[in-house]
Amino acid sequence: MQITVAGTKKEIKDNTTVSELIVSENVETPEYVTVTVNDEFIASDKIGSTVLKDGDTVEFLYFMGGGSVR
C-alpha cells in the first residue's frame, strides 16, 4: 500500500503500525517524536496499535524549546 511520509510517497506493507513505521524510517530520538496521521495527533500510548491505511499521510513532529536569556 502507499502512504505519504513527510511529503514523500512510500510503499509499505499492509497492517503496518505507526511504531513499525518509526523504526523503518529510522526516526531520530523516537521517544521525543509526536506523530500525526491525516493531521490527527496519535497519543503516545496508541502508536503501537494504530494501523496505517492506504493513502494515509504521516508527519513526525519534534517540539523544541528555546528562547533567549535576558
- What is the per-residue pLDDT across 57-68, written as a single tens digit (0 to 9) for each? 999 998 776 666
In a domain, 10, yes or no: yes
33, 26 Cβ separation under 8 angstroms:
no
Total domains in the chain come to 1
CA dihedral 69, 64, 41, 28 (to 10 degrees): -170
CATH at residue 36:
3.10.20.30
Comparing CA positions, the residue from 45, 43, 46, 33 lying closest to residue 5 is: 33
* Whether pLDDT at 54 is above 80: yes
Residue 68 domain-assigned?
Answer: no
| 70 confidence band (pLDDT: 50, 70, 90) | low
Residue 11 lies in domain = 2-61
pLDDT of residue 68: 67
Confirm whether 23 is domain-assigned: yes
pTM reported for the whole predicted model: 0.87
Residue 70 inside a domain? The answer is no
Is 18 contained in some domain?
Answer: yes
Residue 66, domain member (yes or no)? no
Alpha-carbon gap, residue 70 to 66, rounded angstroms: 13
